[in-house]
Amino acid sequence: MKTLILAGGKGTRFSEETKTKPKPLILINEEPMLIHIINHYRHYGLRDFVILGGYKFEMINDYFDETAESISSGEYKYKDSKILVLNTGEETMTGGRLKIAIDELKLTNFLMTYGDGIGNINIDNLVNSHTKSNCLVTITAVRPPARFGRLEIEDNLITSFGEKNQSKEGWINGGFFVINSEINSYIEDEMTVLERSPFGNLAKEKRLNAFKHYGFWQPVDTIREKEQLENILKEKNEMPWI
């Protein structure tokens, strides 16, 4: 089964680093975030990766030119895995990038994730959840990181002052998808945002499955989040999925 990694966005919220490189190449403890993500999937036996590039995609090719064995233009042997870097356009939206991949690679069922989030999601359990659901798409649902202490207020008086409580933050899309290529019929064109009408319509049709993940998950949209992730990995002295 192929694993697609969305790596084409401009990362405008992290402009301090994305002015000069695509976000998935931002270093996390001296190794690109993209490699941490690939190693996560490799841990579960996945060996066939497609990187959906766009903004500064040639830098991703350059990275693998230097660190992997070139098979052909844009295709590499990286350790025990095959990696294809696919240029899906600088302005293309997430749904459009996916549509290009489905059409060009003739995909059926596949895995997909974003190039800017790291977690210890159990990929085997994720796939099993998708198989049992009979849905077109399974999304890993995560608790958003609780950023601030929680206040409870009644009549302008603080009745409770507490620490961050992630369990009260609800569920959000954490990426780490399993997708059937029938999703293609829900994507209009290259400017379709996958997380809007395609997923919205699937939810209305009850064809969108949630795999709830209660473990570690960290997005990297800002320098602060990058530093948090680096500290977490240093404290563990290992990748959290191993």
Q: What is the pLDDT of residue 21?
A: 84
Query: Can you name the residues that pair with 31 across neighbouring β-strands?
Result: 28
Tokens of 232: 């977490």
The confidence score (pLDDT) of residue 238 equals 58
pTM: 0.88
| Beta strand ranges found along 54-193 (DSSP E) | 69-72, 75-78, 81-87, 109-114, 117-119, 137-142, 150-154, 157-162, 172-173, 177-180
pLDDT value of residue 2: 97
Query: Considering the chain, what is the average pLDDT of its residues?
Result: 88
pLDDT for position 183:
96
Degrees (nearest 5) of the Cα angle 126, 180, 219? 50
Q: Nearest-CA neighbor of 174 among 133, 145, 196, 204?
A: 145
Task: Give the closest residue to 131 by CA, choosing from 112, 113, 105, 109.
Answer: 109
Helix (H) or strand (E) holding 217: strand 217-219
Q: How far apart are the first and last CA of the chain?
A: 21
pLDDT score of 125: 97
Secondary element (H or E) of residue 51? strand 48-53
pLDDT digit of tens for each residue in the chain (242 aa)?
A: 999 999 988 766 666 767 778 889 999 998 999 999 999 999 999 999 999 999 988 999 999 999 999 999 899 999 999 999 999 999 999 999 999 999 999 999 999 999 998 999 999 999 999 999 989 999 999 988 765 555 565 765 555 555 555 555 588 999 999 999 999 999 999 999 999 999 999 999 999 999 999 999 988 888 888 888 888 888 876 565 55
Rounded CA separation 134/112 (Å)? 18
List the helix and strand counts (H, then E) for the chain. Answer: 7, 16
Q: What is the pLDDT of residue 234?
A: 83
